[in-house]
Amino acid sequence: MATCYGPSMCLWPKPKTPSSFTNLSFPLFPLPSFPHRKPDTISFSSSSSASMDSALSNEVAQDLSPYLKIYKDGRVERLSGTDVVPTSLDPQTGVECKDAVISAETGLSARLYIPKTKITTNSTKLPLLIYYHGGGFCMGSPFCAYYHNYLTTLVAEANVVAVSVDYRKAPENPLPLGYDDSWAALGWVQSHIEGQGPEEWLNSYADFERVFFAGDSAGANIAHHMAVRLGHEGLVGVNLKGIILVHPYFWGSEPIEGETDVVENRARAAAIWRFAYPTTSGADDLLINPGKDPKLSKLGAKRVLVCVAEQDALRQRGWYYSDLLRKSEWGGSVEVVESKEEDHVFHLNNPVGDNAVALLKKIASFLNQDI
């Protein structure tokens, strides 16, 4: 199994002052309820200077528990979502997974899934789903139980091949690196279109005429931008049929119709974005506000499914995004599905709930609509 990149303890450029983060308080909307575990420990030498360094290193610049802590020496400690589920053939779903290193230089990797027991009886190639996980651009991975279990269930329900991308995470790898990694992953996937790529599963089982991008929260944001970039720049041999955006993380400096205008919430949403992307132009950066993107109509898929939750602070942004697409020159079809009495990423926090099961089936139906 490939190494799980993005360890729970890592270094990033030291903030100029601890106050750089004092206005940030998680969460504006619930982040995934990643399984918690005891944080990693770091060993220091026994010298007096090392002892002094050790004392300094334990000073916290910003405590974002239960998600992460940032120390004054520049370390980032992730408190959850760092577990690694071993690759295996799941006996309940018949789904098998394996890990792949896309770029040893950058640490970009992915987890691949196939519906193993169905493939053995059907030689027809299957739709290919490229998935980008959520977590505010700074948490989670394809290898943690939270996303591993969801992709396993989705692959079984939809009967697709899936590639779950482990893009580098903020703050030690600030945006736009996560977008760059996500595009690089698509280039790696593309290398398999003639059956000569490094991963036999993609060579043998993936149908590049039926490709989909999907993601939740920050991952939905990434999936959208990958579709726009594909439509603008092209990706030879990859036929993007549709994208699925679940509770997409979009924002803007001005409230939109139906959006709760709470000053604290708005400031917090902007702060989360700036935390992940310190050099951003702000809440109207086209990467967070699709209404400011002149290339929106270039979105390279003709079908879009937007999933929103009634109690989600980002609910109206999902509806607004669908309106933007309809009013643009894009020309495709967009559908919005709203889950009543549910909050952000509820389907991941309670995957066996009735609404979560209904959402899973809806997504599976969207993936198989053209079959």
Reported as a single tens digit per residue, the pLDDT across 259-297 is: 866 667 777 777 889 999 999 999 999 999 999 999 999
How much is the mean pLDDT over the chain? 86
Q: Is residue 25 part of a domain?
A: no
Q: What are phi and psi of 53, to 5 degrees?
A: -65, -40
**How far is 104 from 217, CA to CA, in rounded Å?**
27
> Is 251:211 a contact under the CB 8 Å cutoff?
no
Of 368 and 121, the one with more pLDDT: 368
Q: Is residue 33 part of a domain?
A: no
**How far is 208 from 196, CA to CA, in rounded Å?**
13
CA distances from 318 to 16, 96, 258, 289, 314 (A): 35, 33, 12, 11, 7
Q: Which domain holds residue 332?
A: 96-368
| Mean pLDDT within 102-128 | 91
Q: Is residue 81 part of a domain?
A: no
User: What letter does residue 86 receive in the DSSP assignment?
Assistant: P
Local confidence band at 29 (pLDDT 50, 70, 90 cut-offs): low
Let me know if 175 is exposed, middle or buried by CB neighbors in 10 A (0-12, 13-18, 19+). Answer: buried
The verdict on whether 217 is a catalytic residue reads yes
- 47: region left, alpha or beta (phi > 0 left; psi from -120 to 50 alpha): beta
**How far is 348 from 352, CA to CA, in rounded Å?**
9
Q: Is residue 178 part of a domain?
A: yes
Q: Which secondary-structure segment (H or E) carries 336?
A: strand 333-339
Lowest mean pLDDT among 44-58, 124-138, 278-292, 331-345: 44-58
Quick one: tokens of 270? 């902007």
What's the CATH code of the domain at 257? 3.40.50.1820
Q: Is residue 329 part of a domain?
A: yes
∠ Cα 128 129 130 (to 5°): 120
Of 60 and 270, the one with more pLDDT: 60
Q: Is residue 6 part of a domain?
A: no
Q: Which residues pair with 303 in a beta bridge?
A: 242, 333
Q: Is residue 20 part of a domain?
A: no
User: Closest Cα to residue 3, out of 115, 136, 142?
Assistant: 142
Q: Is residue 146 part of a domain?
A: yes
**How far is 316 from 26, CA to CA, in rounded Å?**
20
Q: How many domains does one find in the chain?
A: 1
Catalytic residue among 8, 141, 217, 339: 217
